[in-house]
Structure 1
Amino acid sequence: MNSQDANAVAKLVAAIGGPSMGRALCALLEGKVGFDMSCLYLFRFDQPAELLHDGYHGQVSARTLQAYSRGGYLLDPFYVASTHRHPGGLWRMSELAPDSFFSSGFAISPDLHPCVSSTHGTQIDEIGYIVQLQARAALVFTLMKARKHGPFSDVEVDCLQRLAPLVRAVLEQHGRQLPQSLEGLDGDSQLESAFVGALGQLTEAQRYIARFLLQGHSNASIAQQLGISEGTVKVHKHNLYQRLGISSHAELFRLFIGYIAKVGRQDEGA
């Protein structure tokens, strides 16, 4: 380790528990890994996403970040992995994403997905560390690279992997000192309240199908996730569309983001 790296690690350790953690992580990685944007989120099951480091450099509007934090995060593969018992560590977005994610409403929505809202476009490459704090809470630090710069190279991924033990140790300590409470996470609830609120007129089985559809799963993927036949998924999908008075995935997505917007207006008026 050279003196520059040692200084970066010292600043990283000093940032534990403070607001500069994200900047300290970026400083450690600069010169080793090329990236255009970064962020650090606290994800807790069924609670608003907390942006702890905004490394979007003004390329994402405040409106989009607010919509994401209010409920858009529920469709983010990093959130789903963080709160549904996925192993921690370094992961590419493409490794976490369901099979139809990159054509889903969330993945292509400039009003809900921060990466799409940037000038870099929808093909941005994203990779991040998931650091579990407890069963349904995690810190996630991600790096994003513009489409014009290509994906993260094998050399860059190898560098990030070598740093994973340090990043995990520091973020675990950081999580213990956060003022946000990790108490009160419902250990029995299996479906977030936003899905229940937006899809309340559906049966429980239909709500689960709708959640998977919104998160970017195909019929085949949903069948595998739930241990049912693809034909049964198609029947549930047909019935839930009928009950909601819609006929497409796009309309289902609009219903969901409409509910998020309504909740946001209610919160602002409270």
Structure 2
Amino acid sequence: MKHDTPCASYPAITDRMIVSLIELLGRDSFAADLADILEQQFGHAHFHIFLYREKLAPAALASRPNPIAYARGLENYLNYTYVINPAYRAYRMGKPAGVYMISDFIQNDSQAILDEHDVDVHIEDSEPIGYRTPGWPKNMAEVIVLVNLPNNTVLDFSFLSPLGSRQTLDAKSSLERLFPILNAVVLRQFAVSPNSLDAENTLSGQEDRFHDFGGNVLTVREREIAQLILIGHSSNSISLNLRISLATVKSHRRNIYSKLQISSQAELFSLFLLHLK
């Protein structure tokens, strides 16, 4: 039996594909082989399987195409900018397993700051989350599949396609249909070969550094707002999330900039990345 997709031109999820996933069970090369199957099925411009673990920086279990064209961008993400990435923050907040758009993790509007500095984060209004790691592909939409493993770690399957393309929504719909099978196969693989879904120790995690940024000069509320800015929230979004007025948010932002002796959102990102390093 074939499963229909929302677009006739989009590859169907066939029984053959499902069998191929099941045949991966027990392989030491499970992550790499799974990446090959998903890349062939969905044909995205870029695809990654990230591993999120407590107290450690993320690891990339597989990336396609391989080798990737933006190695510096991936390295920056794995070492530093992951800590403010909405998908990683969703993991930290205990987001349920499932299929998401990156925009599901962050509510933003078009009022992004246009300042751009050649540092570890570029502030770009064309990006879905308002910033981009240098070396990372520009103007990409992301479909994210989260799978929760029993050892309190999470796999993040990231499918990148050009912003505004029909491929993104078609893939999300197909992945939602595939998810119960993909989730079951991954969990079974973890049961029979947990080491195949692990990685060599990476850098120590930056979570504590994320939460103590500005702690010596900012109030608790100001630090909370600074953190929301760093993960991509606009002033309007912060107002909605914290249930405070927009005027109050703007007042807090002015105080944050003044206390940190900066004048723009780009400088806030720069200062935060220096804090991590």
TM norm. shorter chain > 0.5 = yes
Instruction: Work out the number of aligned pairs and report it.
Output: 245
Are residues 244 and 20 of structure 1, via their aligned partners in 2, closer, same or farther at CA, if it must alter by over 3 Å?
A: same
Unpaired stretches in structure 1, ≥5 consecutive residues: 182-190, 263-270
d(CA) in 1 for partners of 2:212, 2:270: 14
d(CA) in 2 for partners of 1:66, 1:49: 10
Give the Å deviation of 1:113. Answer: 4.7
Give the Å deviation of 1:155. Answer: 4.2
Does the aligned pair in 1 maintain the 2:22–2:185 contact within 8 Å? no
2:48 alignment partner in structure 1:
39
Q: What TM-score, normalized to structure 1?
A: 0.75
Give the Å deviation of 1:6. Answer: 5.3
1:221 alignment partner in structure 2:
237
Are residues 94 and 106 of structure 1, via their aligned partners in 2, closer, same or farther at CA, if it must alter by over 3 Å?
A: farther
1:241 alignment partner in structure 2:
257
Please tell me the residue identity of whatever aligns with 1:27.
I
d(CA) in 2 for partners of 1:80, 1:136: 15
1:170 aligns with 2:185: yes
1:21 alignment partner in structure 2:
31
- Return the match for 1:9 from 16, 21, 27: 21
Does the aligned pair in 2 maintain the 1:126–1:143 contact within 8 Å? yes
Secondary structure at 2:100 match in 1: strand
- Any residues of structure 2 matched to 1:35-184 within 5 Å, and which? 35-45=44-54, 47-100=56-109, 103=112, 105=121, 108=124, 113=132, 117-118=135-136, 121-133=137-149, 137-146=153-162, 150-152=165-167, 154-175=169-190, 177-178=194-195, 179=198
d(CA) in 1 for partners of 2:22, 2:174: 19
1:200 aligns with 2:215: yes
Does the aligned pair in 2 maintain the 1:131–1:138 contact within 8 Å? yes
d(CA) in 1 for partners of 2:150, 2:89: 14
Mean Cα displacement is larger for which, 55-64 or 37-46?
55-64
More helix, by proportion:
1
d(CA) in 2 for partners of 1:107, 1:129: 26
d(CA) in 2 for partners of 1:4, 1:40: 22
Mean Cα displacement is larger for which, 211-220 or 197-206?
197-206
Please tell me the residue identity of whatever aligns with 2:24.
L
d(CA) in 2 for partners of 1:101, 1:194: 29
Give the Å deviation of 1:210. Answer: 0.6
Q: What TM-score, normalized to structure 2?
A: 0.73
Give the Å deviation of 1:86. Answer: 2.4
Give the Å deviation of 1:106. Answer: 5.5
Give the Å deviation of 1:129. Answer: 0.8
d(CA) in 1 for partners of 2:123, 2:25: 35
| Cα deviation digits, residues 84-103 of structure 1 (max 9, x gap) | 13232111223323314994
| Cα deviation digits, residues 211-248 of structure 1 (max 9, x gap) | 10011111121122223332322222111111100111
| Cα deviation digits, residues 13-62 of structure 1 (max 9, x gap) | 234xx3431432431562x4231211111123553112111225334444
Are residues 196 and 33 of structure 1, via their aligned partners in 2, closer, same or farther at CA, if it must alter by over 3 Å?
A: closer
Are residues 175 and 140 of structure 1, via their aligned partners in 2, closer, same or farther at CA, if it must alter by over 3 Å?
A: farther
| Higher RCO (CA < 8 A, seq sep 6+) | 2
Are residues 50 and 56 of structure 1, via their aligned partners in 2, closer, same or farther at CA, if it must alter by over 3 Å?
A: same
| Cα deviation digits, residues 112-161 of structure 1 (max 9, x gap) | 956x735xx422222121112369642111211245x9242554333212
Does the aligned pair in 2 maintain the 1:125–1:151 contact within 8 Å? no
d(CA) in 2 for partners of 1:14, 1:57: 23
Give the Å deviation of 1:196. Answer: 3.7
1:210 alignment partner in structure 2:
226
Please tell me the residue identity of whatever aligns with 1:9.
L
Secondary structure at 2:263 match in 1: coil
